[in-house]
Amino acid sequence: MSNSVAPLGRLWGLDDWLEQLDSATIQVEGNLPINGDLHLDSRVIQEGDAFLAMKGHHQDGHAYIGHAIHQGCKMIVAETALEDSLAQKAHDAQLTVLIDPNLRTHHGALAQAFYGDPAQNCTLIGITGTNGKTTVATLLCDWYQSLEIPASMIGTTGTRIWPQKTASPTGLTTSDAITLAKTMRSMVDQGSTHIVMEVSSHALDQARVGGLQFDGAIFTNLSQDHLDYHPTMEAYAQAKAKLFKGLAAEAIAVLNQGDKVAPIMKEGCDATIIDLEMDVSVFVDEVAQNHMGIRVEALGQSWHLQTPLLGEYNAMNVAQAFVLAQALAQQAPEPKVLAADWAEVMASSHGAPGRLERILPIHQESMEMSMYPSVFVDYAHTPEALRTVLRTLDQWNRQKSTEPGNLWVVFGAGGDRDTAKRPQMGAIAEEWATHILLTNDNPRSESPKAIAHGILSGFKAPDDSDVRVILNRREAIQTAIMEAHPNDVVLIAGKGHESTMEIEGVRHPFHDVDEVHQAFQKRQSEVTHAD
């Protein structure tokens, strides 16, 4: 890849725009070039900017064209022609108006070109799937950075620009196309040679990643989620598959062959495909309390890896990240980092925050650890993710050095999202957990009681289960940690790294990890007073 950084494409004339928007027509021709930025939000338009008006899933940008003109934009690109009155306003303001019926398809590539195609100057890795994206992306970014390879990351936990070690929250797995292009521009300008990004099905379906050529891509798995957006699981899978259909022949695709939709990911994929499957190419050699041994067979080689992450699903996450990194390194003209160099950083990498993250009391040196249950926070918000993490903790509970205890789970389901998964999650909790506390998890505009009722409808024998509805999430977390036996295991599921709770359109500060620490302090206080 080229080491030079392309200049910003912000001084664009009409020919530049028409080259990128090959199906566009000129409705109004005004003064160009553009000397500002691109925007999808009319509220942030400044003098000299360009406004892209598209019909989205929730809002129609065409309704805000008048406001964009008022804000002083210099150019409008829309999917449909402006009404005569708006066209006249544009003419009077000497704006240029382009109409591109395919703007939704083109806007990602347009944004990348406008900001100088930054991804052409780095190794770009994309990870897609229902579960595991954040863990895989975080592992790769951590490993690269630990080996002094300038790497940045874009994903669910936020944006991390080299040399940052932690992410800044953004609220989206994959940003809108313009924010994405600007962010990648910043990453490359600050020296990043590698960009690792989670690629959501929404981003693929909406062409937010248009114009990007990924050097490597990973498919983790597919299970029920986002059916409030995708009409069917087939449509959901096909959206994910767009990442692999867009790969060049010299790219690398690492697939979870054990997933039933893996063949869909292969259709129309011209890249070199590496298939991995548990018990075929990925083996869990041993599981200790603090580390898991993994054997991986790929690329004609066999490796033995160690990681502090728990569970077979994390074995696959680690294996996929490692194999892709190795394949890309071997592909490079002068590979600087090979397998032996990764052992130390892998053994110390703890994955993404809020992903099966064990929470310990802050002042554990002054506490009797044997007096407290084992508490984990995880982002599991889909049926398969909840099943996987409960099964993993059940196994860990049976293997830990102390006597096995009961398994507790505190969870809910997001409002205004896929309702069909709620009873499935209830059935899974009933199957695996001894004590179940149903609570709030971003109810948004829905009734929390109705959400809890939807989860309860999946229980086969709710009267025979220890299931309680405690909608106040703080109270639910405290109840579990206060009542749990020291040998018990408590899972706080659904929100993971999130730092807010969305209720009726308002985001309230709320972080499961902080709540766990407060519950630990309360338990410590009561134990101390009892003594």
Q: Which pLDDT does position 1 carry in this prediction?
A: 38
H-run or E-run covering 216: strand 216-219
**Res. 232: pLDDT tops 80:** yes
**Res. 403: pLDDT tops 90:** no
Taking the model in full, what pTM does it have? Answer: 0.84
The pair phi, psi for residue 120, each rounded to 5°, is -70, -15
408 confidence band (pLDDT: 50, 70, 90): very high
Domain boundaries, the chain: 14-111, 117-348, 357-530
Q: What is the mean pLDDT of residues 242-260?
A: 95
Domain 357-530 falls in which CATH fold? Protein-Tyrosine Phosphatase; Chain A (3.90.190)
Pick 117-348's CATH classification: 1.10.530.10, 3.40.1190.10, 3.40.50.1260, 3.90.1330.10. Answer: 3.40.1190.10
Q: Where are the beta strands (DSSP E) in 245-392?
A: 252-256, 272-276, 282-287, 292-298, 301-307, 357-359, 374-378
Partners of 121 in beta bridges? none
- pLDDT tens by residue, 380-401: 999 988 999 999 899 888 887 7
527 confidence band (pLDDT: 50, 70, 90): low
**Res. 308: pLDDT tops 80:** yes
What's the rounded Cα separation, in Å, for the pair 531 and 520?
A: 16
Residue 107 CB neighbours (<10 A)? 28
Taking alpha carbons only, the member of 68, 78, 69 closest to residue 25 is: 78
Taking alpha carbons only, the member of 356, 331, 176, 174 closest to residue 252 is: 331
63 to each of 27, 67, 377, how far by Cα in Å? 17, 9, 42
Selected residue with higher pLDDT from 392 and 290: 392
**Res. 258: pLDDT tops 90:** yes
Q: b or e along 428-444 (b: 16 or more beta carbons within 10 Å of the residue's beta carbon)?
A: bbbebbebbbbbbbbbb
Q: Which pLDDT does position 425 carry in this prediction?
A: 97
Question: Do 385 and 134 form a contact (C-beta atoms < 8 A)?
Answer: no
> 14-111 belongs to which CATH class?
alpha beta
